[in-house]
C-alpha cells in the first residue's frame, strides 16, 4: 500500500442555507435546503507557517469564507451556477495561496426517495468551474423491489438501499421498480448499465445496493460495482 502524498487543506464542512436552484422534488421553483462544503487545496507546506507560529493570521480565515457562503441568497439557474459562485468566492478570499477549490453541494430534498443528492466539482486555479467535470451522487435511494432467491422474498417487495455515482438519469427509479430480480448482482448491473448509457458525457458509474432486511444481526448485505461506459456501448 502506497503512502499518501503530503497535502495542506483548509475546509468548511456542511454550511446550511436555503437557495432557489431550480425545480425541487415536486417540480416547483422555490427555495430548498442546501448544504455546502468547501475544501481549499493550498500550496504545498502553506500551513507549516501557521503550524509553527500558532497564529491564525498566518492561515486562511475560514470564518470569512463561511460568512461569504452563508450570505448567498440569490436564485440560481441550476446547482452548477451555485457551485460556480461558491468557487469564485473561495478563490477570491484565499488569494494566491490556493491551488484548487473543491465544492460539494448537497440537496437533501431534491429526490423524493433518496436521502441526499450531491454534486462535487474540483476547480484548479485559473480554470472555469463550469467547464470542470462534476461527480454527481444519489445517496441512499430507497426503492421497493422484488428481489431474492428465497420463497418468501418472491412474495413481497423489500426495501433496497442504493447509492449511485453518475450524471443522474431522470426517472430511473420507475424503471427499476417495475422489474424483478433474483440477485443483487443482477439488480446492480441493471442500474450500472442504464446509468452508463444515459448520456454520452458519462465515463464511468459506481453503484452500491444493500438489502437491510436480508440479515438479522447485520445492518445489510450488499453489492458494489464500477463499470466504464465503453463496456456497454456494443450491447445497446
* pLDDT at residue number 168: 42
* pLDDT at residue number 169: 41
Q: 132, 148, 169: which is the final residue of a domain?
A: 132
Q: What is the DSSP string of 7-47?
A: --EEEEEEEEEEEB-SB-TTS-BS-EEEEEEEEEEESTTTH
170: pLDDT confidence band, cut at 50, 70 and 90? very low
Three-class SS of residue 76? coil
Q: Is the pLDDT of residue 235 over 80?
A: no
Determine which of 60-64, 85-89, 174-178 has the lowest per-residue pLDDT on average. 174-178
Q: 81, 99, 132: which is the final residue of a domain?
A: 132
Determine which of 46-50, 54-58, 145-149, 204-208 has the lowest per-residue pLDDT on average. 54-58
Q: 104, 132, 160: which is the final residue of a domain?
A: 132
Which has more pLDDT, 168 or 12? 12
What pTM did the predictor assign? 0.70
CB atoms within 10 A of CB 171: 8
Please give the residue range of the domain that contains residue 154. 139-235
Asked if 227 contacts 204 with a C-beta cutoff of 8 angstroms, the reply is yes
Exposure letters 176-213 (e unless 16+ CB within 10 A, then b)? beeeebeebeebbbbbbbbbbbbeeebeebbbbbbbee
Q: Is the pLDDT of residue 171 over 60?
A: no
* pLDDT at residue number 86: 95
221: pLDDT confidence band, cut at 50, 70 and 90? confident
When divided into structural domains, the chain yields a total of: 2
- 224: domain CATH number? 3.30.1130.10
Q: Is the pLDDT of residue 5 over 80?
A: no
Which has more pLDDT, 77 or 171? 77
Determine which of 19-23, 95-99, 169-173 has the lowest per-residue pLDDT on average. 169-173
* pLDDT at residue number 102: 95
- Is 4 within the bounds of a domain? no
* pLDDT at residue number 78: 85
Quick one: 161 and 215 in the same domain? Answer: yes
Quick one: 31 and 102 in the same domain? Answer: yes
pLDDT digits (tens, 9 = 90+) for 44-65: 887 777 777 776 666 778 888 8
- Is 2 within the bounds of a domain? no
Q: Is the pLDDT of residue 174 over 60?
A: no
Q: Is the pLDDT of residue 178 over 80?
A: no
Average pLDDT rounded to a whole number, residues 117-126: 92
Q: Is the pLDDT of residue 154 over 50?
A: yes
Amino acid at each position: 500500500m502506497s503512502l499518501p502524498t503530503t497535502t495542506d487543506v483548509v475546509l468548511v464542512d456542511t454550511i446550511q442555507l436555503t437557495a432557489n436552484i431550480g425545480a425541487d422534488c415536486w417540480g416547483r421553483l422555490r427555495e430548498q435546503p442546501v448544504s455546502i462544503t468547501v475544501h481549499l487545496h493550498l500550496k504545498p507546506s502553506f500551513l507549516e507557517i501557521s503550524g509553527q507560529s500558532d497564529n491564525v493570521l498566518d492561515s486562511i480565515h475560514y470564518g470569512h469564507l463561511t460568512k461569504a457562503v452563508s450570505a448567498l441568497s440569490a436564485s440560481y439557474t441550476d446547482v452548477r451556477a451555485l457551485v460556480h459562485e461558491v468557487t469564485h468566492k473561495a478563490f477570491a478570499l484565499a488569494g494566491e495561496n490556493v491551488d484548487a477549490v473543491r465544492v460539494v453541494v448537497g440537496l437533501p430534498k431534491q429526490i423524493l426517495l433518496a436521502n441526499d443528492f450531491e454534486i462535487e466539482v474540483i476547480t484548479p486555479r485559473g480554470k472555469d468551474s463550469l467547464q470542470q467535470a462534476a461527480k454527481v451522487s444519489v445517496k441512499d435511494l430507497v426503492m421497493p423491489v422484488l428481489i431474492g432467491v428465497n420463497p418468501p422474498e418472491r412474495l413481497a417487495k423489500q426495501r433496497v438501499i442504493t447509492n449511485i455515482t453518475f450524471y443522474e438519469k431522470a426517472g430511473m427509479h420507475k424503471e427499476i421498480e417495475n422489474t424483478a430480480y433474483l440477485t443483487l448482482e443482477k439488480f446492480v448491473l441493471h442500474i450500472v448499465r442504464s446509468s452508463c448509457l444515459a448520456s454520452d458525457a458519462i465515463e464511468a458509474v459506481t453503484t452500491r445496493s444493500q438489502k437491510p432486511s436480508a440479515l438479522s444481526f447485520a445492518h445489510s448485505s450488499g453489492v458494489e460495482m464500477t463499470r466504464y461506459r465503453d463496456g456497454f456501448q456494443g450491447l445497446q
